[in-house]
Amino acid sequence: MLSIKKFAAIDIGSNAVRLLISTITEPDNKPVTFKKTSLVRVPIRLGQDVFTKAYISDENSQRVVDTMKAFGLLMKSHKIEDYRACATSAMRDAKNGEAMVNLISKEANIDIEIIDGSDEAFIIAASDLHTLVGNNKTYLYVDVGGGSTEFTLFSHGKIIDSRSFKLGTVRILNNTINDDVWEEAEAWVRFITKPYSRIEMVGSGGNINNIFKSSNKKLGNPLSYLYLSSYYQLLNSLTYEERISELSLNEDRADVIIPATKIYLSAMKWSRSKSVHVPKIGLVDGIIKSLYNNSKS
């Protein structure tokens, strides 16, 4: 007998807000399949408020509420079985973050969890990331967001350690990161990867996905350090307007892609990785997988 379930995941990030609706199909005597039925992204950029003024502005508060109302209607239309909504770095740091959670609950009837960096890493790990790269390998997972970057070291299918640093693209654009953060991240990555002779890197986030798409590589083939470095030079050689017109980047992507690429290149250098895999998974994928696992248990 065929079983079909639908779950939804919401990620309120520092650069954008996302809704993923997935359909999970359970056929008899066959593997379970996860299909992305709908993916909606709204570039509100909460980090612009929080990392410069410590508060989410009234304008963006209303935009988030309106977006959550729209997401609620979409989830209702898709007849989802369950959902989970998580807010990350910007909402964590905002002085009115908890007030925003209460406002969204009241106005949009959606419950938001503010999670920390380690929670992000473990939710993403729930997406069976190791099956996409290899169970017998050691790799550093790097998830670059607007407010923070999560580093997780996996070896032979197990999490060795995980850390979150306030090394985000929106923070960098607003010059709110000092050298100490870069130095701390570098020291941790070098230390945690030192015992391993061969490290491969896995990158996630909208920026690395965009770079991978532009490479025209087939899914499953990694990007080399040389390619990423060359693309970084290309990005820096173009103006903001040229990155939009010549590279077909969205307005909210054309600026953050440069600091994001810098973070990925730095992580590759620190971990001695020669290539980066881009499996196109992130927080929303991990949320969907965790919802499904909870439904089974």
pLDDT of the chain, 297 residues: tens digit per residue = 788 999 999 999 999 999 999 999 988 888 889 999 999 999 999 999 999 999 999 999 999 999 999 999 999 999 999 999 999 999 999 999 999 999 999 999 999 999 987 788 778 766 666 566 566 789 999 999 999 999 989 888 788 888 889 999 999 999 989 899 999 999 999 999 999 988 999 998 899 999 999 999 988 899 999 999 999 999 999 999 999 999 999 999 999 999 999 999 999 999 999 999 998 788 899 899 999 988 887
Which pLDDT score, from 0 to 100, does residue 14 have?
93
CB 107 within 8 A of CB 100: no
Nearest partner of 138 among 277, 2, 24, 247, judged by Cα: 277
Which pLDDT score, from 0 to 100, does residue 132 have?
61
Which pLDDT score, from 0 to 100, does residue 154 have?
87
Domains of the chain from N-terminus onward: 3-117 (3.30.420.40), 132-281 (3.30.420.150)
pTM of the model: 0.89
Which pLDDT score, from 0 to 100, does residue 27 have?
85
CA distances for 46 relative to 54, 147, 278, 296, angstroms: 10, 9, 26, 35
Nearest partner of 210 among 189, 186, 231, judged by Cα: 231
CB 153 within 8 A of CB 201: no
Which pLDDT score, from 0 to 100, does residue 228 have?
97
- Which value, to the nearest 10 degrees, does the dihedral of the CA atoms of residues 233, 235, 239, 244 take? 160
3-state secondary structure the chain: CCEEEEEEEEEECCCCEEEEEEEEEECCCCCCEEEEEEEEEECCCHHHHHHHHCCCCHHHHHHHHHHHHHHHHHHHHHCCCEEEEEECHHHHHCCCHHHHHHHHHHHHCCCEEECCHHHHHHHHHCCCHHHHHCCCCEEEEEEECCCCEEEEEEECCEEEEEEEECCCHHHHHCCCCCHHHHHHHHHHHHHHHCCCCCCEEEEECHHHHHHHHHHCCCCCCCEEHHHHHHHHHHHHHCCHHHHHHHHCCCCCCCCCHHHHHHHHHHHHHHHCCCEEECCCCCHHHHHHHHHHHHHHC
Structure tokens at 5: 């379930």
Which pLDDT score, from 0 to 100, does residue 131 have?
61
Q: Which residues contact 274 (CB under 8 A, 6 or more apart)?
A: 224, 225, 268
Which pLDDT score, from 0 to 100, does residue 128 have?
62
CA distance 206 to 212: 10
Which pLDDT score, from 0 to 100, does residue 246 have?
95
The backbone torsions φ and ψ at residue 200, rounded to the nearest 5 degrees and listed phi first, read: -110, 150
CB 29 within 8 A of CB 101: no
CA 25, 27, 29: angle at the middle one, nearest 5? 140
CA distance 256 to 293: 34
Which pLDDT score, from 0 to 100, does residue 2 have?
83
Structure tokens at 106: 């009241």
Which pLDDT score, from 0 to 100, does residue 183 have?
97
